[in-house]
Amino acid sequence: MPYILNGRICKPNEVKRVERGDIVIVKPVSVLVNGRYMVFPPLSLVSDQCPHVIGSSVWVDGVSVAEDVDIVTSTEEVEGELEVLSHEFLPAFVAKRILGTTKFKTSKVEGIPIVTVKSKPIISLKGTRILLTDSRTTLLLLSHSLKYYTSSQDYLFV
């Protein structure tokens, strides 16, 4: 649960890229921006690249982006809607709403499927590694947010 002293934040549809050290929000948070409180949904990002300046310090339920997501080379496409196999994984429902019904890249991967489309894995967990078959920004944010639910590590103050 990082403490944000200052910085910038963006909603999921405003994210252009995800970089190491950014923070992916996993639960809704109210943040002071331009003198008003705005609610930012799961998959929002705290990053220097974001347009909204955070006006006061705030605790967020989030996870720092590291290098523990592996993007797997995808060999096939499947059309459909995200299927969330763990109902506790709140950010996946936000991603499902954002992406709707569309084509996703998928591949046969080892590990435990967490998010699928028509029973084909999109995000899987293999040990401590997260496997992602489609490199869209929304799915990359979602993959990093999975660490919040599978890890007990201490998060740094930012």
Residue 109's domain spans which residues?
69-151
pLDDT tens column, 13-72: 999 999 999 999 999 999 999 999 999 999 999 999 999 999 999 999 999 998 889 999
> Do 48 and 16 belong together in one domain?
yes
> Do 145 and 77 belong together in one domain?
yes
- The pLDDT, as a whole number, for residue 152 is 57
Give the count of domains, the chain: 2
> Do 80 and 59 belong together in one domain?
no
Among 65, 87, 118, where does a domain finish? 65
pLDDT tens column, 96-148: 999 999 999 998 888 999 999 999 999 999 988 999 999 899 999 999 999 99
Among 65, 89, 105, where does a domain finish? 65
Nearest residue to 92 via CA among 37, 130, 53, 36 = 130
- The pLDDT, as a whole number, for residue 110 is 87
**Is 157 within the bounds of a domain?**
no
Distance CA 145, CA 139 (A): 10
User: DSSP 3-state helix, strand, coil percentages of the chain (rounded to 5)?
Assistant: 15, 40, 45
- The pLDDT, as a whole number, for residue 151 is 76
- The pLDDT, as a whole number, for residue 127 is 87
pLDDT tens column, 61-93: 999 998 889 999 888 999 999 999 988 999 999
Strand partners, 32: 37
- The pLDDT, as a whole number, for residue 74 is 85
**Is 158 within the bounds of a domain?**
no
What does the angle CA 107 – CA 100 – CA 96 come to, to the nearest 5 degrees? 75
Residues 6+ apart with CB under 8 A from 64: 2, 21, 22, 23, 155, 156, 158
> Do 90 and 145 belong together in one domain?
yes
pTM of the model: 0.89
Cβ contact 98:81 at 8 Å: no
> Do 56 and 73 belong together in one domain?
no
> Do 87 and 58 belong together in one domain?
no
94: pLDDT strictly greater than 70: yes
153: pLDDT strictly greater than 60: no
